[in-house]
Amino acid sequence: MTAKAANGQQVETVPSVCPHDCTSTCALEVERIDANTIGRVRGSQRNYYTAGVICEKVSRYAQRVHHPDRLTQPMRRVGPKGSGQFEPISWNDALDVVAEQFTRKAQQHGTETVWPYYYAGTMGLVQRDGINRLRHAMKYSRWFSTICVALSDGGWIAGTGAKRGVDMAEAGQHADLIVIWGGNPVNTQVNVMTHAMAAKKRGARLVVVDPYRTGTAERADLHVAPRPGTDGALAVAMMHVLFAEGFADWDYLRRYTDAPDELAAHVAQRPPQWAEAITGVPAQTIIEFARLYGQAKAPYIRCHHGFSRSRNGAVNMHAVSCLPAVSGAWQRKGGGALYGQTGLYPLNRNLIEGNELIDKSIRELDQSRLGPILVGEADALNGGPPVTAMLVQNTNPAVVCPELHKVHQGLLREDLFLCVHEQFMTETAAFADIVLPATMFLEHDDFYTASGHTVFQVARKVIEPPGECRENHYVICELAKRLGAEHPGFEMSAWQIMDETLKRSGMWDAQTNLERGGQDCALPFEQAHYLDGFAWPDRKFRFKPDWPGMGERGSQMPVLPDHFNVIDQATTEQPYRLVTAPARTFLNSTFTETPGSVQRERRPTALIHPQDCVALGLSDGDRVVLGNARGEIVAHAKAQDGQQPGVVILEGIWPNRAFEGGVGVNSLTSAEPGFPNGGAVFHDTSIWLRKMQA
């Protein structure tokens, strides 16, 4: 395809897919100026969900691909650990060093001492998850992924049994009420807004549930602002009103749910006044919200991740997912709910991840507990040896992990060998012994599931990588060769793995997928709306989840939806509750290097209720200390109403260096696992505030 550039010349445009850790997984059109250079990136019309719209950060992706600070050659540390002093080294030598170190450490401590560590810098399945093939083939420590979706997945699946729901575009066309619960899609997934605004244009109402007045909340007819970590109470009180005022659909409840009478009796004890005391939301507002929901013909709830990032997050997610089961909204076109669609794709992942090689006797380590693990806390090590060797791909834990002081202390350990494969000299890479330069998505092949929509997409490399950048798949296969790991996936190209995986999964082959612009895995109406039953053996939605079956601490959890009071409550010493929400033009720690994003976000800013500002003697722009027993950081204060007094918001996972003192917001957050089975609790933190004297 060609398009006209600003200067009137014809420019070739090539299809691609956004790889970032964002549920939108946008279909892209990329201007290819020559074999090494891109121009503008636009949203494609070929995907119904993208519908031509993408976020501003990716539209100016040329700033990132052609950034002068990209890593372009392998490097070896020459200064002290963490000094950032490196010298160039050849790929061969670099890979030899890594393999030698992994082998030596495994000889000393057993294979569990090596811990390949990754996340979703790219969501491409081959480049992201191939590291697990190496892990399993070598019996390295297993991976317990908890930093993002453990609590939200658990909470959603507890009731419905499957990670899927009603498509947002259907809601855009047919819902008469849209609730955006615990998310800020204006910042984090702009396409939700495309479809929510389409509904609004038709006259649908929009409700946003968020502790502060986000850009999304500003678009709402009703903004409900609970205290962080109290959504369970809010949802329970709404159910109270639904039952009390005749909005419960008893025919539906009897047919499709497990314990409707018990639920009705339980929530009868929990009126809006009860929830007001917990959430801080006036009872009258809860009643108004519940009536809006109950009176709507086709109410739709878009559940986001934000309200699950608390110790009780799974209970809160489950409580919200009960609402359409009480109202029977699932039965109606445009009605129901969505948290994510990744349960739709029938992929056989063995070739990518080597799942057939998994040895369950190998110890598993919790991603979010990197700090406690690296400083050697026995419970975090799960009965195994210390971690003394790591390969990091696709993540920046020296910034994004909780209990950062421990993470940094651990990364400085002399007996830890660290290899980081990265696109930039991130603050994690600066701790490394070996740094390897990585390709970006436009420089390699991969394929993508989507969570916000239903289309599985294949993407081809668009341009040549700069310098000596190599894809993740290359690093994994080269290490496998040197370490003696065996699996057919190590012998294939990324494209061959994609093609063979699709064939094994009964899907279109890779080329066909590419040519047709993606394969839609949407289910027919009946199934998408769970009208053939929920994904449990008895086909019933569970008001009473099997929490004990889902995790060790499940037996401590409430049997029916409730306020589960295990959050990090405000105290006299730490009287404020901190939410560390996503910034609009960063994506986690990514884009903190692009000029456009830094200009917009400016500097770390604490949004504080005007009353609290007065009490603390703070004016806009003053430096304010945010602290707790784990650490202290300094940010600039900004008064903002629309949130409850006592709630503080700091947007963005800024680099540590953006803060005075050189350590970032995650020095305040806790690595304590959420219930029942782990999950990071980034928005569940009590702190003190103190005005910094000039």
Instruction: Tell me which residues touch ligand SF4 (CB under 6 A).
Output: 18, 20, 22, 24-26, 54-55, 58, 189-190, 587
- 457 or 666, CB closer to ligand SF4? 457
Give yes or no for residue 210 binding ligand MGD (CB under 6 A).
yes
In angstroms, the CA 291 to CA 289 distance is 5
Q: Which of 588, 453, 499 is nearest to 125 (CA)?
A: 499
**Segment holding 378, helix H or strand E:** helix 378-381
Selection from ligand MGD, Mo ion, ligand SF4, none that 583 binds (CB < 5 to 8 A by kind) is ligand MGD
Residue 196: both structure tokens together: 């929510």
- 437 or 582, CB closer to Mo ion? 582
Give yes or no for residue 426 binding ligand MGD (CB under 6 A).
yes
CB neighbourhood size of 415 (10 A): 12
Q: Which of residues 136-195 bind ligand MGD (CB under 6 A)?
A: 147-148, 181-185, 187-189
Give yes or no for residue 305 binding ligand MGD (CB under 6 A).
yes
CB-based burial, 128-154: b 16+ in 10 Å, e otherwise: bbbbbbbbbbbbbbbbbbbbbbbbbbb
Selection from ligand SF4, ligand MGD, Mo ion, none that 115 binds (CB < 5 to 8 A by kind) is none
Number of residues that bind ligand MGD (CB under 6 A): 61
In angstroms, the CA 260 to CA 239 distance is 11
In angstroms, the CA 579 to CA 572 distance is 19
Q: Select the residue interacting with ligand MGD from 74, 211, 604, 631 (CB under 6 A).
A: 211
Which residue's C-beta sits nearest to Mo ion?
Answer: 148
222 contacts 207 by C-beta, under 8 angstroms: yes
Residue 95: both structure tokens together: 């890979």
Q: Mask: binding to ligand MGD, 217-256, rule CB under 6 A, as x and -?
A: ---------x-xx-x-------------------------
Helix 313-321 to helix 231-244 angle (10° resolution) is 20
- In one-letter notation, the amino acid at residue 42 is R
Task: Please name the residue ranges forming H helices in 466-594.
Answer: 472-483, 494-504, 510-516, 525-528, 547-550
Strand pairing report for 576-579 and 605-608? unpaired
CB of 520 to ligand SF4, least distance (A): 17
Q: Which residues bind Mo ion (CB under 5 A)?
A: 148
CB of 272 to ligand MGD, least distance (A): 17
In angstroms, the CA 390 to CA 378 distance is 19
Q: Select the residue interacting with ligand MGD from 545, 582, 673, 679 (CB under 6 A).
A: 582
Selection from Mo ion, ligand MGD, ligand SF4, none that 212 binds (CB < 5 to 8 A by kind) is ligand MGD
In angstroms, the CA 349 to CA 346 distance is 9
- In one-letter notation, the amino acid at residue 296 is A
- 18 or 469, CB closer to ligand SF4? 18
CB of 342 to ligand SF4, least distance (A): 14
Selection from ligand SF4, ligand MGD, Mo ion, none that 58 binds (CB < 5 to 8 A by kind) is ligand SF4
Q: Select the residue interacting with ligand MGD from 11, 18, 22, 235 (CB under 6 A).
A: 22
- 441 or 547, CB closer to ligand SF4? 441
Q: Select the residue interacting with ligand MGD from 209, 235, 278, 626 (CB under 6 A).
A: 209
Residue 283: both structure tokens together: 């009872």
Residue in the structure block whose two tokens are 């770390």: 604
- 141 or 454, CB closer to ligand SF4? 454
CB of 163 to ligand SF4, least distance (A): 18
CB of 426 to ligand MGD, least distance (A): 5
**Contacts of 441 by beta carbon, 8 Å cutoff, 6+ apart:** 16, 17, 18, 19, 122, 124, 459
3-state helix/strand/coil string of 305-326: CHHHCCCCHHHHHHHHHCHHHH
CB of 289 to ligand MGD, least distance (A): 12
CB of 161 to ligand MGD, least distance (A): 21
Q: Select the residue interacting with ligand MGD from 61, 119, 140, 541 (CB under 6 A).
A: 119
Task: Report the residue count for the chain.
Answer: 694
Calculate the CA dihedral of residues 510, 513, 517, 523 and round it to 10 degrees: -130
Residues that bind ligand MGD (CB under 6 A): 21-22, 119-122, 127, 147-148, 181-185, 187-189, 209-212, 214, 226, 228-229, 231, 304-307, 309-310, 393-396, 400, 421-424, 426, 438, 472, 579-584, 586-590, 653, 665-666, 669, 682-683
